């Protein structure tokens, strides 16, 4: 499988999630899927962890009245890298260094997805979250 094919799989998967079709997790993610993020230590492994992550993407329970956009996406070897932005009003659980409930925010994130046998095995994510009154991106 080429790097471009992996990129296509990821982009189609994200589009399905945006449509609310979280069931595609079983088709795209490996049984030993791992989400690795310093913001969310101890995230469950396997398809259950992938389903929880997909639900967060579909439902975005931490923010309202916002939107997201893909800024860059590229693939090399067994990895696909996605840089994206999210804007909205934060309503989630307050965490150190993050916005308070009701504050507008902008978030920039980079995720690296590793594929094995055509399925996503690892998702490494780094996110910067800031309170802002700047116009929506």
Along the chain (137 residues), what's the average pLDDT of each consecutive run of 10 residues?
95 89 90 92 94 82 82 96 91 81 89 97 88 64
pLDDT at 105: 86
pLDDT at 48: 95
Per-position DSSP letters for 31-94, written without gaps between them = EEEEEE-TTSTTPPPHHHHHHHHHHHHHH-TTEEEEEEEEEEEEEETTEEEEEEEEEEEE-S--
Which distant-in-sequence residues (6+ apart) come within 8 Å of 111 by Cβ? 81, 82, 84, 123, 124, 125, 126
Task: Give the span between the Cα atoms of 39 and 69, in whole angstroms.
Answer: 20
Q: Which CATH number fits domain 3-131: 3.30.420.40, 3.40.190.10, 3.40.50.720, 3.10.450.50?
A: 3.10.450.50
What residue segments make up the domains of the chain, in order of their start?
A: 3-131
pLDDT at 76: 96
- Which DSSP helix (H) or strand (E) runs through 36? strand 29-36
pLDDT at 7: 97
């Amino acid at each position: 499988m080429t790097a471009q094919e992996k990129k296509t799989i990821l982009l189609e998967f994200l589009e399905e999630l945006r449509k609310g079709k979280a069931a595609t997790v079983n088709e795209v993610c490996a049984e030993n899927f791992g989400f690795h993020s310093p913001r969310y230590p101890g995230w469950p492994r396997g398809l259950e962890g992938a389903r929880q992550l997909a639900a967060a993407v579909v439902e975005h329970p931490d923010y309202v009245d916002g939107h997201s956009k893909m800024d860059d996406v590229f693939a090399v070897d067994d990895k696909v890298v996605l840089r994206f932005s999210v804007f909205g009003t934060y309503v989630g659980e307050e965490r150190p260094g993050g916005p308070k409930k009701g504050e507008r925010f902008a978030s920039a994130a980079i995720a690296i997805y590793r594929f094995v046998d055509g399925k996503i095995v690892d998702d490494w994510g780094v996110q910067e979250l800031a309170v802002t009154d700047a116009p929506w991106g």
